[in-house]
Homo-oligomer: A and B are copies of this chain.
Amino acid sequence: MTIVVHFHNLQFNNKDPVYIQIAYFVKRQIHLGFAENGDKLPSRREMAALLNVNPNTVQKAFKLMEEEGYVHTTSTQGSTVYTNEAIMKSIEEELTKQLVDDFIKSAKEVSLSIDRVTELLREQWNERE
């Protein structure tokens, strides 16, 4: 049985480019285990209709995802999710280590110590509605 990755719960913000958000969505699906190796992705035109965007915008997302390695495409059979240990690791790196690293950089820029940072983190972690 072919599992098809679906996109009903993808909702766009209006600050990041659409094609980035699409790619990021797929990346997170993979990261969370909701999309696995071999899972089928909708065709460009299907997805465009689904998300109400231009097919070329979708195409740009696919191009990006392919370049980043977690989507494979064949001319006639469309695109599928591609993962293996290395891919999973690199996604994990980007979504966590990279995130943390960028944060550390900013924190140091304003002279925060690690202790102060951890303190603020614990204070603010559950402080959101």
The distance in angstroms between the C-alpha atoms of A112 and B105, with both chains bound, is 19
Contact A31 B110 (CB under 8 A): yes
Residue of B nearest to A122 (CB): B114
State the interface size on chain A (CB cutoff 8 A): 28
Determine chain A's interface SS by DSSP, over half rule: helix
Query: Which of B95, B107, B118 sits near A99, CB closer than 8 Å?
Result: B107
The distance in angstroms between the C-alpha atoms of A118 and B100, with both chains bound, is 10
Residues of B within 8 A of A97 (CB): 120, 124
Contact A96 B122 (CB under 8 A): no
Residues of A within 8 A of B (CB): 28, 31-32, 95-97, 99-101, 103-107, 109-112, 114, 116-118, 120-122, 124-125, 128
